[in-house]
Amino acid sequence: MVLFTVPSLIFDKSFTPILASITLIMVGVYVLLGLEIIHRTVLATFAAVLSIILAITLGSTPAEESLDFIIESIDFNTIGLLLGMMIIVT
């Protein structure tokens, strides 16, 4: 309930269904990470897939353009940097 009332009172804007859904997913991820019920990798993958499915289902991203948009949104330089740091630390 707070997700739908506080932003409109403070920022004079309302949440769209996709923004509210992604916000709930992220809050759920942080809670589950804190409780350590599910492994981090599985949880992150599940949340990412669920977010993509919701974006397509709620019409935020058209299905025919979704895969191209998602691949273009990935910053492979950052992923490479993180992978290199993880290899060095290991």
Angle between helices 40-57 and 63-73 (to 10 degrees): 140
Residue 13: pLDDT over 70: no
Any idea where the domains of the chain sit in the sequence? 2-89
Q: Give one word for 58, left, alpha or beta, with left for phi > 0 and alpha for psi -120 to 50.
A: alpha
pLDDT band at residue 65, thresholds of 50, 70 and 90? confident
pLDDT band at residue 5, thresholds of 50, 70 and 90? low
For residue 1, the tally of other CB atoms under 10 A from its CB is 5
